[in-house]
Amino acid sequence: MTYSNFQIFTVELIGTFILVVFATGSIVYDVQIGGPYGIWFAAVTPFIALIIGVYSFGKISLAHFNPAVTIGYYITGHITKIQVAWYFAAEIIGAILGSLFVMNFIGTDANLGANAPNYDYSILLIFPVEVLASGLLMAVIFTVVYTKGLKGFSGIAIGGIVGLDIFFLAVISGASMNPARAFAPALLSGVMNDLWLYWTAPFVGTVIVGFLFRGKFAKQRKQEKS
């Protein structure tokens, strides 16, 4: 079944909204109550959000919820230039609505859950770590797509790699992996100093992996046509 760009826009907006509410709202809530949960809570909540999003909307939009992932899909030929614009619009609007929800119904602590790198480390480490986190996410997503959904484990695999990236790498780079998720809380909290990192490194990671998988998908499409 073919879905319209408006249908794709709608589910991408909803999915990104859910992801941002879970990912940033959990950080805000944890800080409000004194931080008893810490990093594992920040890792588990986007895992849950992505399970919801992938299984609810994956068949319609491939469940990007992330502009860097959208660019990866464009490189591999899954979407058109026009669709990139629809995806980007949905993801940015959904993320802003998610941060507005957090601001009004959860709180404003921790800069609305905005990502922040750990400058105890050199930027020469921080940047590659964010590239690595984003590249790992894109590689898992493409593996899921290439294997036709990993036999039902797509949401768990995609959510799982995001959770693992956050658990192990957030202490260095903030592990956003997602320019929209980084943009909305930074914009609404007014703390935008580190936004450049999350609007560069994730794209670098997904673009590299996109080109690595491009040939695989091209070959797969040829086999399906023959």
Residue with tokens 């860097």, as numbered in its chain: 68
Query: For every one of its 226 residues, what pLDDT tens digit does the chain have, with 9 covering 90 and above?
Result: 789 999 999 999 999 999 999 999 999 999 999 999 999 999 999 999 999 999 999 999 999 999 999 999 999 999 999 999 999 999 999 999 999 999 999 999 999 999 999 999 999 999 999 999 999 999 999 999 988 766 689 999 999 999 999 999 999 999 999 999 999 999 999 999 999 999 999 999 999 999 999 999 999 888 888 7
Cβ within 8 Å of residue 101, ≥6 positions away: 17, 21, 25
pTM value is 0.96
- In this structure, are residues 46 and 166 in contact, taking their beta carbons and an 8 Å threshold? yes
Alpha carbon 16 to its chain's center: 8
Alpha-helical runs (H) found in the chain: 5-32, 39-61, 67-75, 81-105, 109-113, 123-146, 154-173, 179-189, 195-198, 201-225
What is the DSSP annotation of 158-174? HHHHHHHHHHHHHHHH-
**For 5-225, which CATH class?**
mainly alpha
